[in-house]
Amino acid sequence: MPIALVTGGTAGIGAAFARALAARGYDLVLVARTSSRLEEFGAGLRSDGCEVELITADLGDPADVDRVAARLADTARPIDLLVNNAGYGMKSRISDPDIAEADDAIAVMMRAPLVLSAAVVPGMRERGTGAIVNVASIAGYLSMGLYSAIKAWMRVYSESLSNALQGTGVTVTALLPGWVHTEFHDRAEIRKSSIPSWLWLDANDLVASCLRDVDRGRAISVPSVRYRFLGWWLRHLPPRTIRWVSRKISSSRHRD
């Protein structure tokens, strides 16, 4: 059986990836911070016949990242697909003098994917097969604070790694979702009522679309026609216009 490792694998997009990959016949390694949620979610997958390994880890902690990296580098139980999904919406503003949340966000959503991908690539390249999915965001085309900057980095990093692995049999796909029905926005205290209903995506549909793009070896996966259309405009509008749009979105989406 092929094995997939999913970070942030117990809720939202990560859980949708876990279910979809289990349905495709993968055994799973799930990584998350909360042991109780891991056990509960893993038990459900095991009841459906999936082999599930659980790793409790805080990817903001370098020691925990190293433990997950060691699992990815284990040639006796090779990982065939890595999904770097762990992340969260940020409550602090980019101008805040307290950068504690910024430090953690950079560790979880930039450093951890970099370390984990570097750990899994040598084995994949040696076997001549494997895939990495990095969950970025359409927000990476906007200028809405540190979260946008981090997700822009994730997209460029993914494309760069894809280039570096061209011809090896290993693919890298950056997933660029928009607004998705998960608990992500509640945790970040984002006012969801300000977001038009037509912009919302279903996590299961999003993951199904992404996995089709992984099968095709695509470096970028943008789910749904409407987000591909929006993404095209965001890539081609003048930077001054993008900054104006970003200000309008930022002012409307945070709770008072």
Per-residue pLDDT of the chain (256 residues; tens, 9 = 90+): 899 999 999 999 999 999 999 999 999 999 999 999 999 999 999 998 999 999 999 999 999 999 999 999 999 999 999 999 999 988 888 889 999 999 999 999 999 999 999 999 999 999 999 999 999 999 899 988 999 999 999 999 999 999 999 999 999 999 999 877 655 444 544 555 556 665 778 999 999 999 999 999 999 999 988 888 888 999 999 999 999 988 888 776 544 4
Q: What is the dihedral sign for C-alpha 193, 196, 197, 202?
A: negative
Torsion angle, alpha carbons of 108, 109, 115, 117, to 10: 140
- Residues tagged active-site: 147
Write out the two tokens for 226. 């409407």
Interatomic CA distance for residues 256 and 254, integer angstroms = 7
pTM value? 0.89
Burial (Cβ within 10 Å: 0-12, 13-18, ≥19) of residue 104: middle
Q: What is the dihedral sign for C-alpha 87, 9, 53, 37?
A: positive
What the chain holds in terms of domains, given with CATH numbers, is 3-253 (3.40.50.720)
